[in-house]
């Protein structure tokens, strides 16, 4: 949800800058080492379409709380799949 909301309302950042805010900067703040991809190693990846528009509904919420100001809003930037080491989750994540 965070990526779609910010991507929808973003007026000043390039896609590369926006992705850096979500990926590299949190690791910098927490003083964590940069993540690298290596042959024969498990990876954390997110597949998304930055121009895919969708209406945000309760089916997009996987927490117990359904409180959000974004229900019924058209958002831009849909996550299609997430691969977290050996766990894979396709559309509807």
Look up the CATH number of domain 2-90.
2.30.40
pLDDT tens per residue across span 25-64 = 999 999 999 888 889 888 888 899 999 999 999 988 888 8
pTM: 0.76
Beta strands in the chain (DSSP E): 44-55, 74-84, 87-90
Q: Give the 3-state secondary structure of residue 47.
A: strand
Residue ranges of domains in the chain: 2-90
- If phi > 0 it is left, if psi is from -120 to 50 it is alpha, else beta; for residue 31 that is left
pLDDT tens per residue across span 53-92 = 999 999 888 888 888 999 999 999 988 888 887 777 776 5
């Amino acid at each position: 949800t965070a990526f779609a909301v910010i991507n929808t309302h973003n007026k000043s950042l390039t896609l590369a800058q926006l992705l850096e805010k979500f990926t590299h900067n949190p690791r910098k703040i927490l003083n964590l080492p940069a993540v690298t991809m290596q042959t024969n190693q498990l990876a954390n990846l997110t597949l998304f379409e930055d121009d895919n528009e969708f209406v945000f509904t309760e089916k997009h919420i996987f927490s117990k709380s359904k409180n959000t100001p974004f229900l019924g809003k058209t958002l831009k930037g849909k996550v299609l799949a997430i691969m977290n080491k050996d766990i894979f989750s396709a559309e509807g994540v």
